[in-house]
Structure 1
């Protein structure tokens, strides 16, 4: 019998076989849940069917939580959990509630002292850090950097300063179609010997994880356009 809790259910980061990146226990948990809080209903249904072919999708209830969801709606998504039913949270990719709208519903569950259970699965942030060769004891995830050019360069310089002042790895992301612009801005704003790791398509067939100095990146050919990537900066 599955205990009543809010289960945070990781999803593969791309077209990777479920069994390659998720433990079989996750499938057992999914089989015991009928209420799901998801970022996108269509992709969540596809993931659930892929991970558990025997599941009856029509028996499930979905609550969509994304940037279009009104803040006043979120608390209501936990009503099944309050009534004693196990509830799952599913992101579009990777671990829910990390750089993800699911954090809002987890915060409510914690405030109400409702049990929260994170399940094991792929995290692009941690996996990129593992493979970068950078400091894994002190690091900070910065999310998206500013879009406006001046603010963006200013922020990059601030992060590089933290790298040298604190010895802290700086991790951030970008919208895939702006990946090349990000690398160009880093080359322009940072010292040539500062190192950059670009981790793209993590855990997928076309995975690429490269660490070079920015001086080397300036001379290197790359193609990360439209590819999900994580950027890590270190000395």
Structure 2
């Protein structure tokens, strides 16, 4: 059983290389400096992230527990149930628990009666929405759209319809190496006056966040290949 008062800290990480000085605030640094156990999506990148903060922690003395979309629930349950100290959850990029395997661990933490503490940090989804000019009163995040062309087209048509009829912003993403194909599908499927926001490399030095009509994007296609991107239909 857990010790009473154990907390799970939701620790945001960087979205782009070498941005920790700008986007990782003192609250996150203080939490990491106190913790020795971390649930992480990728051990190697988590170790590198913590080391980059230069908090004086001995990385080899820390405990990293892998938490991916393929981690069996029973493994995560046992790890959380046997905690004897506070722990952190670190996503591969951005905020843990949002479009991230950390959500499953948080659900278990609540069932075990653990305290869950979210920390403020960069989220490509919210930053893209903030900068898009589309509705922030009503919005939906859909994660990844289908890869199959017919199913993807149908999904895009549904998103465009909901954006128009419900006045609801539609947010989605793709694996970076398929970004260009997704953009082409969006521009081929949507009406010329539909607004599309592309938020690419959010927080990086070459960040690009622009909202244009489908017609305008067709006249000036960006190359999004292998660049982390959030797409918005508004």
TM-score class, shorter-chain normalisation, is over 0.9
Distance 2:202 2:81 in 1: 35
Match of 1:192 in 2: 192
Number of positions where the alignment pairs a residue of Structure 1 with one of Structure 2:
230
Q: Does 1:25 align with 2:59?
A: no
User: Residue 80 of structure 1: CA displacement?
Assistant: 4.7
| Deviation by residue 1:180-225 (Cα, 9 ceiling, x = unmatched) | 1111111111111001000000001110011110011111131111
User: Residue 16 of structure 1: CA displacement?
Assistant: 3.2
Q: Does 1:227 align with 2:213?
A: no
Match of 1:130 in 2: 130
Partner SS state of residue 127, structure 2: helix
CA RMSD of aligned residues (A): 1.2
Q: Is the 8 A contact 1:37 1:77 kept in 2?
A: no
What pairs up with 1:44-123 in 2 under 5 angstroms?
44-81=46-83, 83=84, 85-123=85-123
Q: Is the 8 A contact 1:13 1:122 kept in 2?
A: yes
Aligned equivalent of 1:14, options 16, 30, 35: 16
Match of 2:172 in 1: 172
Partner SS state of residue 29, structure 1: helix
Match of 2:43 in 1: 41
User: Residue 72 of structure 1: CA displacement?
Assistant: 2.0
Partner SS state of residue 141, structure 2: strand
Match of 1:150 in 2: 150
| Deviation by residue 1:137-166 (Cα, 9 ceiling, x = unmatched) | 100000000110111000100111101110
Q: Is the 8 A contact 2:196 2:233 kept in 1?
A: yes
Q: TM-score, normalised by structure 2?
A: 0.95
Partner SS state of residue 218, structure 1: helix
Distance 1:71 1:214 in 2: 42
Q: Which runs of 5+ in 1 are unaligned?
A: none
When residues 78 and 52 of structure 1 are mapped into structure 2, their CA distance, relative to the original with a 3 A threshold, is farther
Q: Which runs of 5+ in 2 are unaligned?
A: none
Q: Is the 8 A contact 2:29 2:55 kept in 1?
A: no
